Structure 1
Amino acid sequence: MPRSEIDAKYRALVDEVEATMSDPGGAAVLARNLQDLPELLAGLDRKTPEIGPIEVLVDRGGRLVGQNAAAEQRLGLMLGDRLQDIAMSPQAAQRFLVNRDKGAVPLLVADPAGGRILLFGQQPADADSPMLLTEVQRGIDAAIRARLADAAGLAASERQLLKGLMQGQSVQGIARELGRTEGTVRQQLKSIMAKMGVNSQQQLISSAYALTLMYRQTGSVPAETSPRLQGATLHNGRHGVVARHDFGLPDGVPVLFFHGALFGITAVPGMIAAAQTLGLRLIAPERPGYGHTVLGDHQDPVALAVQQAVDLLDTLCLSKVVVLAHDIGTRFAARLALDAPDRVAAVIAAPATPPMQTWSQTADMPTRHRVNAWASQHLPGLMDKIVALGLSQIARAGVEEIPRLVFDGCDFDQAILRQDGAAAVLQEAFELAWAQRGAGFRADMRLTNENWQDEADRINVPFLCLHGEESRTVSRNAVEDLARTLPKGRFRLVEAAGHSLPVSHTALILRAALAAANAAGLERDEFGFRDHS
């Protein structure tokens, strides 16, 4: 289904929810009306199998003696049928039969679904053995395409366009698939050609294929780029396997980092360098349902994450740490501070995600955010479908979809996340979520809309709540209320920041962690200036 069609159906679903969410009986009304969107909802659970290229075996007379699933599905031939019967012309079939003994030979056949399929075969050493013909697929290896894009300095949106071109798609088809105007796609095509130093689309494609041939001739086709998540250390602890990322100084001030749903872990621009400069040691476990850390059916992600965090601190012989949290990580940090206050020197929630106490908290949110909040509270099954739809769109169209899908109606945050430095953040965040097909992300969407205010007034550790002045996804009043409820809570408004402040204000957040550590006496006296008298 083209992205534009998915978007249209998704908007219809959003409109349906919006029209009923102010009605006390809205959930029942919506449930009855969901029958109008069966294709969208059913389609989310269907996965299109990857059947690969066509492969067929033909005897000397051109009769089919073997075929794989792709050939059976797409060509519609039975064993014993003649391959030349679907050749594009009798002359092509005759040339195939005559030339097959002379070595490698191509054959163009008709695709029953429309179009043409190019097959390539080579006669085995034994002339009486069947010949294997394999479909010549459009496109080049993803790893080679990535190397080419890196060499030319292509932006994420340009890489998507290059992929479509290599697969033989037209500009119109690419525009439909990616949900862009043809004019935008043509402008991006011009940018790609300029960066690669070519004057036409034909030169662009021939250069890419020439690069593929050179890689293959040297026998050095690059492997797929290893995902960032493989850099994690796997800890087999008392509560299952937990993936952990460590950065900063190995002997620095200890900071336990609960990542959020949107901003990754180590890819935030300047995060690693700032941690090293400030003398921090960040320990960042992948939360349950993200990356390598499994969230089992019916497990409580908050309780499990807290148990795993305490186990990690015990293993690392860390008695007390500052806890840093991005967005929904606030909930996890708060529970750790409640259950193990002796292990937490302070909490820095940046940005803070407060409890969802009343529907009025959503009043200033964009429509999609209000829809998500309502659906999460009233129809959690539907909310899972909405989240699954968004993740599948990102998987298909690329991480540049995240600002549009997640921050629709939030121009400030979209602008921050469309900056060049944010691309790696979006990629890492998606890799973390998609590794378990959104299990942790979907759980986070439910947690975001739960009321845990009763826990807040029992948390007796310093708790700093940061909130971006331009944020529209979280209620400032709710964050201020959380800070007032916390016995040692503090609120700080960050100017020129939105909900994306982990990306825009990385150093500020880490400075807050350092200040909290210093106040708690965790900062070591590296140069001997502390008065020990």
Structure 2
Amino acid sequence: MADTTSQARYFELLGRAYEVPLESTGFESFLDAAHDFFCADPETGKVPDDVVTFQSDVLDDHTRRLERIFDVALRAERQDAETDAHYHSVLTIMPGSDRVHGNAAAIALLGCSLPLALDDLPLDREALAQISECLSAPGSDERIILATVEADEPKPCLALVQPPAGEDSEARISLSFVHWSDGLITRLGRALGLTESETEVLQGHLENRKPREIATDRGRSPETVKAQAKSILRKTGCVRMTDVARLAASIAYLLRKMPDSGAPSLSHWTTPVANLHQIMREGRKLSYYRHGHPGSRATVLFSHALIQGPFFAPAFLARLEAADVSLLAPSRPGYGYTSPPKTEAGFESAAIEDALAVLEAEDAGEVHVVGHQLGTSHAFRIANALGPRAKSLILINGGIPLNETHYASMDRRVRFAAMATRHAPAILKMTKLLAIRSFRKKGIREFLVDRYTKSDWDMRALKMPGVMELHAQGTFHACEQDGIPFFLDEASKHSDWTADALAATCPQFWLQPEECSILDPDAVRTFVSGLRGARFETEPGAGAIMLYQRPERVANFILDVIGNASVPVEAETA
């Protein structure tokens, strides 16, 4: 390490890495530390002078240790789940006593030793008062109470209070902890016919929060929250929100036993196989997706992004089919079901050779090459390898060779990847491992929301019908082989491929979203202005998810190029 400052950043980075397997927000904190390790000034994107002296070999050992920690944590979670399935938390109070006894499951849930006096149980005061009231009347009806276990991380639970049947019988309190995950809450809201806002209010009540607290958390007035609570009562047929909580707990139990038919593609990290075709080349399996049929009037070869594609919106495919255009979308080495390259150094050449082999297998002659985001550099290389057979290069939210002059305007994630690739590839490898395991654990929705949470345009696009599912498929595709391409493709993307771009001889057509959160469109425009035969335009109101946000616009852009690709163009920007 060069000095105390760089050493402090290094140990902060390592410390955050070891928190990822244990903390729900650990990966986000690690990314912040990783970004700050490389970025001395976020305003300019300046890299600290001491980063270039960083010795990265030692990180490989830490990465292997982290992998083992994740595996141990996963096994522990599975054991906890098995324990929950076999043991129920039960508290008992003997006649004539206020001492509460409990089984092992109750001790684990409450996090305290038993027996204790009833008033000393780590439950919220209101719940304890309701339990005492219920127990003071022997022979009264059972009651379900929504309570909160008071701990460092408060846990809402349901308490079934069974008063003593007579003076000589014991009282029982059965505690049931329900983890109200975002996925379970969403399904519960659908089952009860609630709006998104009403579902959020219901979640607050299930977490035993006061209406004013719910209003503060949601940035709404207490009157709005009360009105939405009344709507929940009307829709569920309940008199009180405690009755709604009881109903919700019953439905939650059933939902856990049922598959989520509303979002099957989000529950299993499996790459789709519809329209999948495979060939063998030199002992490696090449996979690609085909839409359309051989003999179409035109063929498009699609070079996909990291976590978008090679999957497409129905409207996009319908436009191409109506125009008699076929689409071939190969998976690069290590993605989906395509074998990894024989060596890391051979990744880029394998990507080119694989694409050419797919075209040969499909007996495709002239083609239009489409590059999307991370697939841009590969698209240029493929087009150059095709020579005259490449009728055009079409770049959809295309990337450009990146250097330190672009850092200031970059998305933090992209900036970090660029810096790590150049200065400490081992950190990028560690990040890949942590990212995949962290988000496999948290779920694909959380991964995509976290990815785009700082872009209002992309968050709106993510909520459009079908967009989350398509994007999830692209993420599964990148992770099918445990994320092999994450490191290889990022390294390729952040290399200097300017020579490949300048060597292209076919006409180029760029469509860039004006609200891209990944890279400033003006930086792309400046680069494209120096390319031969390139035409550039932007799409207003579109963000980084333009492929899924504006599928018909993207399809029409490609079809317009196909109809005019034989007409020479001068370099211009619009």
Same fold (TM over 0.5): yes
Alpha-carbon distance in structure 2 between the residues aligned to 1:352 and 1:261 = 12
Match of 1:319 among 356, 362, 365: 365
Report sequence identity in percent: 20
Cα pair distance change 1:408/1:442, threshold 3 Å = farther
Match of 1:290 among 335, 356, 368: 335
Structure 1 SS opposite 2:515? coil
Cα pair distance change 1:49/1:156, threshold 3 Å = farther
Structure 1 SS opposite 2:400? coil
Deviations 1:323-361 (A, max 9, x none): 2221011112111111122442212110111112x3102
Aligned to 2:393: 347
User: Cα RMSD (Å) of the superposition?
Assistant: 5.2
Aligned to 1:49: 74
Aligned to 1:241: 285
Counterpart of 2:360 in structure 1: which amino acid? Answer: D
Aligned to 1:337: 383
Alpha-carbon distance in structure 2 between the residues aligned to 1:213 and 1:413 = 34
Match of 1:454 among 482, 499, 520: 499
List aligned pairs for 1:108-123, cutoff 5 A.
109-110=104-105, 113-115=108-110
Alpha-carbon distance in structure 2 between the residues aligned to 1:370 and 1:335 = 24
Deviations 1:275-330 (A, max 9, x none): 33443322222332222223246343332232222222222221122122210111
Alpha-carbon distance in structure 1 between the residues aligned to 2:489 and 2:363 = 29
Alpha-carbon distance in structure 2 between the residues aligned to 1:46 and 1:215 = 25
* Alignment check: 8 A CA contact 2:333 2:351 kept: yes
- State the Cα distance separating 1:449 from its structure 2 match: 1.3
**Structure 1 unaligned regions, length at least 5:** 56-68, 76-82, 92-106, 117-135, 176-180, 523-533
Cα pair distance change 1:157/1:208, threshold 3 Å = same
Alpha-carbon distance in structure 1 between the residues aligned to 2:378 and 2:187 = 39
Alpha-carbon distance in structure 2 between the residues aligned to 1:388 and 1:346 = 37
Cα pair distance change 1:151/1:137, threshold 3 Å = closer
Alpha-carbon distance in structure 2 between the residues aligned to 1:410 and 1:44 = 35
Alpha-carbon distance in structure 1 between the residues aligned to 2:490 and 2:514 = 23
Counterpart of 2:50 in structure 1: which amino acid? Answer: G
Structure 2 SS opposite 1:255? strand
- State the Cα distance separating 1:8 from its structure 2 match: 3.5
Aligned to 1:231: 273
* Alignment check: 8 A CA contact 1:238 1:308 kept: no
Aligned to 1:416: 461
* Alignment check: 8 A CA contact 1:410 1:472 kept: yes
| Bigger mean CA offset, 376-385 vs 197-206 | 197-206
- State the Cα distance separating 1:112 from its structure 2 match: 7.1
Aligned to 1:436: 481
Aligned to 2:555: 510
Deviations 1:471-523 (A, max 9, x none): 3522445534543454333322333333332233322322232233233579x
Does residue 1:302 correspond to 2:348, yes or no? yes
Alpha-carbon distance in structure 2 between the residues aligned to 1:460 and 1:113 = 69
- State the Cα distance separating 1:258 from its structure 2 match: 1.6
Aligned to 2:168: none
Cα pair distance change 1:54/1:452, threshold 3 Å = closer
Structure 2 SS opposite 1:324? strand
* Alignment check: 8 A CA contact 1:243 1:285 kept: yes
Deviations 1:127-158 (A, max 9, x none): xxxxxxxxx99689x99999877666789999
Match of 1:397 among 433, 442, 466: 442
Alpha-carbon distance in structure 2 between the residues aligned to 1:462 and 1:188 = 57
Aligned to 1:14: 35
Alpha-carbon distance in structure 1 between the residues aligned to 2:317 and 2:435 = 30
Alpha-carbon distance in structure 2 between the residues aligned to 1:496 and 1:308 = 35
Cα pair distance change 1:202/1:354, threshold 3 Å = farther
Alpha-carbon distance in structure 1 between the residues aligned to 2:341 and 2:519 = 29
Structure 2 SS opposite 1:230? coil
Deviations 1:76-122 (A, max 9, x none): xxxxxxx9xx997799xxxxxxxxxxxxxxx9544775549xxxxxx
Counterpart of 1:347 in structure 2: which amino acid? Answer: L
Structure 2 SS opposite 1:271? helix
* Alignment check: 8 A CA contact 2:90 2:105 kept: yes
Structure 2 SS opposite 1:238? strand
Aligned to 1:494: 539
Aligned to 1:473: 518
Alpha-carbon distance in structure 2 between the residues aligned to 1:280 and 1:398 = 36
Aligned to 1:383: 428
Structure 2 SS opposite 1:454? helix
Alpha-carbon distance in structure 2 between the residues aligned to 1:352 and 1:54 = 46
- State the Cα distance separating 1:442 from its structure 2 match: 3.1
Match of 1:24 among 38, 49, 65: 49
Deviations 1:206-245 (A, max 9, x none): 46746976998xxx98999466733334544233323332
Cα pair distance change 1:495/1:87, threshold 3 Å = closer
Counterpart of 2:289 in structure 1: which amino acid? Answer: H
Structure 2 SS opposite 1:246? strand
Cα pair distance change 1:514/1:366, threshold 3 Å = closer
Alpha-carbon distance in structure 1 between the residues aligned to 2:198 and 2:443 = 11
- State the Cα distance separating 1:427 from its structure 2 match: 1.7
Structure 2 SS opposite 1:451? coil
Alpha-carbon distance in structure 1 between the residues aligned to 2:383 and 2:195 = 41
Alpha-carbon distance in structure 2 between the residues aligned to 1:221 and 1:412 = 31
Aligned to 2:172: none
* Alignment check: 8 A CA contact 1:334 1:459 kept: yes
* Alignment check: 8 A CA contact 1:290 1:441 kept: no
Alpha-carbon distance in structure 2 between the residues aligned to 1:156 and 1:329 = 36
- State the Cα distance separating 1:457 from its structure 2 match: 2.1
Structure 2 SS opposite 1:46? helix
Match of 2:310 among 245, 256, 265: 265
Does residue 1:2 correspond to 2:47, yes or no? no
Alpha-carbon distance in structure 2 between the residues aligned to 1:479 and 1:203 = 53
Aligned to 1:371: 416
Alpha-carbon distance in structure 2 between the residues aligned to 1:480 and 1:329 = 18
Cα pair distance change 1:486/1:155, threshold 3 Å = farther
Alpha-carbon distance in structure 2 between the residues aligned to 1:232 and 1:282 = 14
| Bigger mean CA offset, 453-462 vs 495-504 | 495-504
* Alignment check: 8 A CA contact 1:473 1:499 kept: yes
Cα pair distance change 1:43/1:53, threshold 3 Å = closer
Q: How many residues align?
A: 454
Alpha-carbon distance in structure 2 between the residues aligned to 1:195 and 1:315 = 61
